[in-house]
Amino acid sequence: MNKRLSDRVMNIKPSATMSLNAKTKIIVKEGKGIINMSVGEPDLHPPLTASYAGIQAIVKGKTGYTPAAGLIELRESIVRYLLNERGLEYKPNQIIASAGGKQPLYNVFQAICDQDDEVILPSPYWVSYPEQIKLSGAVPVIVSCDETTNFKITPEKLAEVITPKTKAVVITSPNNPTGSVYSENELKALGNVLKDYSEIFIISDEIYDQFVYEGKHISLPLIFPELLNRTIITNGFSKVFAMTGWRLGYIAAPSDIAEAIASFQSHATGSPSTISQYAGISALNGFDKSMVEEYKKRRDILVDGLNQIEGIQCTKPNGAFYAFPNVSQFFGTMFEDQQIIDAETFCHLLLEKQHVSAVPGTAFGEPKNIRLNFAIPKDLITEALKRINNFTTQLAVKV
């Protein structure tokens, strides 16, 4: 039969948060004071200098095509950023600018994966990785990592899942949704496993790199320079520079991979927006480090508050801006005549009854937890804690 849609798109899972988003919109429309902790967005403004640079580009008519890989000035700025902030040496031809943090990752899977290759993906994971891996024809090999290792993959678990088909492993540090950050020793241990497999790529998603509250962010090749020729760093301006809608991100990769991605991108989308690229050059000079201290305070209020609520356990995230509490103790309980069977029903009822919006962990491969964004003002975090407590104290054991 002649199908209307390709197997490729039919194979993509719909977003696990779609019905929740629809419910959130209705409650917002009704004018009820919702506390939205479900979005993956910081409550900052982009650096003003970046916004002005964007405006200047428009006014001066610097709005034409750029090379598909991005403006050379932007790529040089990214090279300087990686050297100054990460201690990593790249050349501009190893940097490819793309739309947001998502497109660089999509490009990478397209560039390196063939049908039935395996990509190791520690879970909990950011929602789009499995679908992007599948779109490349590869198979996501999901490795479940729980609270006992702070949701991080151990060298033992990594070694266990490597097969002759393994093409890459994805490391996200700081992580979305868990906020976990790999320490130098943990990265060393993973590097020790990976150095023996010269065919395996390391995809290092560093989009939350500046949001680290204890210790510091480290890129794997800094510890293992011999892994540099098979490490692909992806990053973006959405989180650290609060430029979600500007859609700008990049990869830093070995030259042959960068070249292949530039060629692929030139046919798929071309460069990211020229205006955003000019804004990006300016943003790279202006990260406001004072926000890290502020987010740390907000994290402490939220996580300490959550752990005081009976039935909730929350490990302290060392980075990003998400808390990922375990709410599984409430599974099976009742809110009036409605039963909480999983994280999704928990989130739906929390939204309906207390107008706090959270994301069920199911979306990230961990059905026992929920994700709460703490990049919102402190008074709202305190109010959200009150509402979550109100909600959970009304949950009754089913009789």
**Positions in the binding site for ligand PLP (CB under 6 A):** 40, 100-102, 126, 172, 176, 205, 207, 236, 238, 244, 249
Measured from the CB of residue 65, what is the shortest distance to ligand PLP in angstroms? 22
CB of 251 to ligand PLP, least distance (A): 12
Cβ distance to ligand PLP smaller for residue 102 or 355: 102
**Which CB atom, from 291 or from 320, has the smaller least distance to ligand PLP?**
320
Let me know how many helices (H) and strands (E) the chain has, helices first.
14, 15
Taking alpha carbons only, the member of 172, 165, 160 closest to residue 121 is: 172
User: C-beta of 31: minimal distance to ligand PLP in Å?
Assistant: 28
Judged by CB, which is closer to ligand PLP: 192, or 362? Answer: 362
Shortest distance, position 10 Cβ to ligand PLP, whole Å: 23
* Cβ at position 177, least distance to ligand PLP in Å: 8
Q: What is d(CA 184, CA 189) in angstroms, rounded to the nearest whole number?
A: 9
Distance CA 340, CA 395 (A): 9
**Residue whose CB is less far from ligand PLP, 102 or 217:** 102
Length of the chain: 399
What DSSP string runs through 72-130? HHHHHHHHHHIIIII-----GGGEEEESTTHHHHHHHHHHH--TT-EEEEEES--THHH
What's the distance, Cα to Cα, between the start and end of the chain in Å? 52
Q: Which is nearer to ligand PLP, 265 or 328 (CB)?
A: 265
Q: Phi and psi at residue 373, in whole multiples of 5°?
A: -85, 125
Give least dist CB 35 to ligand PLP, A. Answer: 20
DSSP 214: S
DSSP strands (E only) in 206-335 = 231-236, 249-252, 322-323, 333-335
Q: Which residue, 251 or 257, has its beta carbon nearer to ligand PLP?
A: 251
